Amino acid sequence: MNKSTVCRIANRIPRTTSRRDAFIKAWEIVKTGSLKLAVKGVTFGNRQTALKRLAKYPCDKVVTFLVPEPKNNFDKNAIAVKVGVQYGRGLYTLGYVSKEMTGLVKALKPKTITTQIISGDIYGVRLSLAA
């Protein structure tokens, strides 16, 4: 385990947690090699309709990309969550990584993204990011 990696990740964890809890969480991220987070903004516009369609596909057929949006008018550090179906046409913006977690996601530099679509009255998305 690389101590500098733990420190780098712990320093990017939102300040709403204690430093001790931040280091424990960073250690867990480094040990497991992944971070789980919810996608924000999934109820905006036609995103619920898109999620309903995506829920019909198996998880391994849904491709997900995290795309930085430095020209975003609301947040210069925004990271968009874009999804599509394997061998399908185009990508759709499903939402965004929360403002508090963008620094942590950038520090983690995920290589693998697993997408879980939660169905119900309102659809949601959870990502599992592996370094």
Do residues 5 and 30 lie in contact, with contact meaning Cβ atoms separated by under 8 Å?
yes
Question: Would the pLDDT of 40 be above 70?
Answer: yes
**Of the listed ranges 1-10, 18-27, 67-76, 85-94, the one predicted with least confidence:** 1-10
* Residue intervals in the chain for CATH 3.30.70: 33-130
pLDDT tens-digit readout, 8-27: 888 888 777 788 888 888 88
The overall longest dimension of the chain from CA atoms, in Å, is 45
- Is the Cβ–Cβ distance between 29 and 109 less than 8 Å? no
Fold designation for 33-130: Alpha-Beta Plaits (3.30.70)
Return the DSSP state at 21. Answer: H
Reported as a pLDDT band with limits 50, 70 and 90, residue 1 is: low
Confidence of residue 39 (pLDDT cuts 50, 70, 90): very high
Whether pLDDT at 52 is above 80: yes
